[in-house]
A = this chain, B = another copy of it.
Amino acid sequence: MRHFLNPLDFTVGELDEVLDLADEIRQNPERYSQVCKGKKIATLFYEPSTRTRLSFEAAMLNLGGSVLGFATADSSSATKGESVSDTIRIVSCYADICAMRHPKEGAPLVASLKSSIPVINAGDGGHQHPTQTLTDLCTIRSLKGRLSDLTIGLCGDLKFGRTVHSLISALVRYPHIRFVLISPDALRIPSYIRDNTLIKNKIPFKEVQRLEDVMPELDILYMTRVQKERFFNEEDYIRMKDSYILDAEKMKLAREDMLVLHPLPRVNEISVEVDDDPRAAYFKQVQFGVYARMALIMTLLGLGGK
């Protein structure tokens, strides 16, 4: 039995198979509309994340399966002191697979150790959010046709943004990847990622503070939200939050075929005037996320083979 706790849990070859399946599903959704008939996914969301939860639920329903679970911890047994290990043993009696979101890092890993069903990490604290990374890879691969030979700009909060960290770790496994890291000084990429992931693997990268300066170089611009709750004080937040806003003016500097991605939700870091630009891929990304999760569910349930 396999779990999906970290994007690196799958080899590049295994990921390719998942992404191939996602692509096949996208082209022939009808063919897959009953493959999970009689199967159930449990969505165990110890903190709310509507978009991610609904993506999993849509994925399972699209496959003909059904859904049970909870959307916030207040309605879970956690409040009665039950451990994640006990909860997963119980849920193993109710469902065939589960997606767990938890504010504590490592909780899905702990669950997986006692689980008799596949566990998907749907986000654990500031740690991992591997199905977002799978979504990002699926989007880039489908729209660019490749996951290699790309210059990828990552913009915004690179210090706390777990989607950025996961995406870097996932992309360094592909050939000829180059990163442009765009952030205020206070929100630079953590040194353990710079040293252990980028430098160690001899991945070319540069760090800059102004988005305008690097727009023309990018194949992909991955924008991230400046999360208010990550800041130490209100002042810093207000001073910096507007520094990295993508608007139509900045888009003029970009290549014709550059793609803009964003893990969503966005607040104001991408101006709505960019939404109608054909290079804006962040809403398409949501659709790719459903296909990626469908492929992942099938794979973990052993239904992905040919």
* Chain A residues proximal to chain B, CB less than 8 Å: 33, 38, 40, 42, 45, 48-51, 54-55, 57-58, 61, 66-72, 74-77, 79-82, 85-87, 89-91, 93-95, 264-267, 272, 283, 286-287, 289-290
Kindly provide the distance from the CB of A124 to the nearest chain B CB, expressed in whole angstroms: 18
Asked if residues A94 and B38 are in contact (CB atoms below 8 Å), the reply is: no
Among the listed B33, B82, B90, which residue makes an inter-chain contact with A267, where contact means beta carbons less than 8 Å apart?
B82
A120 to B68, alpha carbons, bound, how many Å? 19
A67 to B50, alpha carbons, bound, how many Å? 14
Known: A48-B76, A51-B77, A76-B50. A58 touches B93 (CB 8 A): yes
Known: A48-B76, A61-B40, A79-B48. A68 touches B54 (CB 8 A): yes
| Inter-chain contacts of A71 with B (CB < 8 A) | 70-71, 75
Among the listed B45, B67, B85, B264, which residue makes an inter-chain contact with A68, where contact means beta carbons less than 8 Å apart?
B67
- 19 A-B pairs, CB-CB below 8 angstroms? A40-B58, A42-B54, A48-B79, A49-B77, A50-B75, A51-B90, A54-B68, A54-B69, A55-B94, A58-B68, A58-B93, A61-B66, A66-B66, A71-B75, A81-B267, A82-B266, A89-B286, A93-B286, A94-B290
Additional 20 contacts, C-beta under 8 A, given A33-B38, A51-B77: A40-B61, A48-B75, A48-B79, A50-B70, A51-B90, A54-B90, A58-B94, A70-B71, A71-B75, A77-B265, A80-B265, A81-B265, A82-B264, A82-B265, A86-B264, A87-B265, A89-B286, A93-B286, A93-B290, A94-B290
Asked if residues A54 and B91 are in contact (CB atoms below 8 Å), the reply is: yes
| Inter-chain contacts of A79 with B (CB < 8 A) | 48
| Inter-chain contacts of A75 with B (CB < 8 A) | 45, 48, 50, 71-72
Asked if residues B57 and A61 are in contact (CB atoms below 8 Å), the reply is: no
| Inter-chain contacts of A57 with B (CB < 8 A) | 68, 94
A38 to B54, alpha carbons, bound, how many Å? 16
Name the CB-closest residue of B to A43: B68
A75 to B45, alpha carbons, bound, how many Å? 10
- Of the listed residues A70, A80, A286, the one surrounded by the most CB atoms of chain B closer than 10 A to its CB is A80
Among the listed B38, B86, B264, B286, which residue makes an inter-chain contact with A265, where contact means beta carbons less than 8 Å apart?
B86
Kindly provide the distance from the CB of A25 to the nearest chain B CB, expressed in whole angstroms: 14
